[in-house]
Amino acid sequence: MEERLIYNLVDLEQFAKALLAKLNSKQLLLISGPLGVGKTQLVQFLLNELNVPKNQISSPTFSLHHTYDSKQLHKDTTIHHLDLYRLLNEEEFESTGLWDLFLEPTSTPVKGESPRESLIIIEWAEKLPTHFWPKNWNQIKIIMSFFNDSGTEIRKLQIE
Ligand SMILES: Nc1ncnc2c1ncn2[C@@H]1O[C@H](COP(=O)(O)OP(=O)(O)OP(=O)(O)O)[C@@H](O)[C@H]1O
Ligand SMILES: [Mg+2]
């Protein structure tokens, strides 16, 4: 496990840039941590780097699922951005059908085109037990937390 201390937004943006280099074509990014710790901010930095227009980015807190397209990471990447904050239980997750995303990572290619790749980013990933996560995906887990050092609020990222 890797640890990273974040003192400000610039640190977080730099972390996002470094993280991007580690992302693969069939990538699951699980982000957990308390309210306001910076999960959505981290996703926004990642999406900026992936050239997703700013006006398309919004917090999925109220809609559970957002989809973006990017040609930055691989030829054609579909980015799924999920926020499970409002999820009540596992049954509710099953009823959303979102686990469908895990079954078919790349959609059937249109004739003559290369297949699309998927990046799934999940905020509040701790809301679902680990057996839900697909085994055959590249998985990066980021656990964000706060701590206080003589009155200074610092964020800690644990990366697995
Ligand atoms: N490293 C940081 N330094 C300073 N401010 C930060 C940092 N990270 C995030 N923030 C700010 O904290 C606020 C909350 O961040 P954000 O919305 O990303 O949290 P969140 O973890 O997604 O919270 P929630 O679970 O409620 O959605 C934002 O205004 C954001 O810009
Ligand atoms: Mg958020």
Query: Can you tell me the distance from the alpha carbon of 153 to that of 147, in angstroms, rounded to the nearest whole number?
Result: 6
Distances in Å between the alpha carbon of 136 and those of 11, 91, 139? 31, 23, 9
Q: Which ligand is nearest to the CA of 82?
A: 2
5 CB near ligand 1 (under 6 Å): no
The domains of the chain, with CATH numbers, are 2-106+115-159 (3.40.50.300)
pLDDT at 71: 80
pLDDT at 105: 47
Considering the entire predicted model, what is its pTM? 0.89
157 CB near ligand 1 (under 6 Å): no
Measured from the Cβ of residue 142, the count of other Cβ atoms closer than 10 Å reads: 21
Residues 6-62 have pLDDT tens digits of 999 999 999 999 999 999 888 999 999 999 999 999 999 999 999 887 777 766 555
66 CB near ligand 1 (under 6 Å): no
